[in-house]
């Protein structure tokens, strides 16, 4: 297949491109190198595939630039591009979230109306669920986002399903839970903690560390995305997660184990929009995608630590 990956230079996107190539697919990659984090980080993410013979790459902004050329010859679109992050979505920056998370999604779907057989797989988030459930959530749970970011991700889901029901586009949405691993964004917790450990700095934790997360290794998330591309679960919302929770303090313990260092941890008040628990039921992913996550937290953190050290040595 020929797959268009938006956000191809990002954390999940770069891993996805590599996996698609490994499985024999060709790729069109799109990224606008938004300054949310340094361009050099994204360039490093692309190092393993930038010169691949089966890659077309566009540096484009999906909310404003022409889309037809990048969609030519494409069998499926995996839409991962957007402005991430719960904390940054409050206040005046919300305009960027509207443009890059909602408008960009609508423009892609509108462009696909001329290509009604092209599968559209939307990269959504556990943030659509909110903060009401402390038990494992399945896809029937009524979404109630707890942050403006979550609102934009839910809007993207609704947009995808609307274009499916009204215009017949084959669409599906995948809800990612607490993804971590090599190339993680520099603002995310595990990456921040590992960099602080590398540099001998104190670690700041928002909350008391007992908040529970369904930490899911990026390779397991990518395996689920590829399965969705190949199996086309049209009309579905599907959780992609490890399927079990761990407290944030377990990440700190895993970092101490991986690095051999004793961490200096400073706990701070929880920030607006941070939920107490993310915990997914993944029965639907198992049934529709043959999805089976395999990487435990300690193994995944150790792999991420290897990448942090390697990039630091190369910088």
Q: Cα 234 to chain center, whole Å?
A: 20
Distance, CA of 164 to CA of 234 (rounded, Å): 8
User: Is residue 18 exposed (0-12), middle (13-18) or buried (19+ Cβ within 10 Å)?
Assistant: middle
Residues with Cβ within 8 Å of 91's Cβ and at least 6 positions away in sequence, in order, are: none
As a whole number of angstroms, the distance between CA 15 and CA 170 comes to 24
**What is each CA distance from 207 to 44, 157, 188, 279, 289, in whole angstroms?**
32, 29, 15, 18, 35
149 in active site: yes
Contact 3, 20 (CB under 8 A): yes
List, in sequence order, every residue forming a beta bridge with 180; answer none if it has no partner.
217
DSSP 204-226: EEES-S--EE--EEHHHHHHHHH
* Residue entry with tokens 């919302």: 237
Which one of the listed residues 37, 49, 97, 149 is annotated catalytic? 149
Catalytic residues: 149
């Amino acid at each position: 297949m020929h797959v268009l990956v938006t956000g191809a230079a990002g954390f999940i996107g770069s891993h996805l491109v590599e996996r698609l190539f490994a499985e024999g697919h060709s790729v069109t990659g799109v990224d606008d190198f938004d300054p949310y984090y340094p361009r050099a980080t994204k360039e490093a993410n692309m190092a393993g595939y930038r010169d691949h013979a089966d890659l077309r790459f566009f540096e484009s902004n999906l909310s404003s630039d022409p889309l037809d050329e990048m969609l030519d010859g494409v069998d499926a679109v995996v839409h991962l591009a957007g402005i991430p992050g719960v904390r940054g979505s409050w206040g005046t920056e919300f305009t960027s979230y509207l443009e890059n998370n909602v408008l960009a999604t609508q423009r892609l779907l509108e462009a696909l109306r001329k290509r009604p057989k092209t599968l559209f797989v939307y990269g959504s988030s556990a943030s659509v669920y909110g903060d009401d459930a402390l038990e494992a959530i399945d896809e029937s749970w009524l979404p109630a986002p707890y942050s403006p970011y979550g609102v934009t991700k839910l809007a993207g889901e609704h947009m995808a399903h609307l274009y499916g029901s009204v215009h017949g586009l084959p669409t599906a949405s995948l809800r990612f839970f607490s993804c971590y691993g090599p190339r993680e964004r520099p603002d995310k917790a595990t990456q921040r903690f590992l960099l602080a450990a590398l540099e001998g700095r104190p670690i700041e934790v928002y909350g008391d560390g007992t908040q529970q997360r369904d930490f899911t290794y990026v390779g397991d998330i990518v395996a689920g995305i590829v399965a969705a591309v190949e199996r086309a679960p049209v009309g579905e919302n599907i959780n992609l997660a490890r399927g079990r929770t761990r407290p944030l303090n377990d990440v700190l313990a895993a970092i101490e184990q991986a690095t051999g260092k004793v961490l200096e941890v400073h706990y701070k008040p929880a920030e607006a929009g941070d939920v107490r628990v993310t915990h997914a039921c993944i029965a639907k992913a198992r049934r529709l995608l043959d999805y089976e996550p395999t990487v435990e937290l300690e193994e995944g953190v150790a792999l991420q630590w290897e990448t942090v050290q390697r990039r630091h040595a190369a910088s």
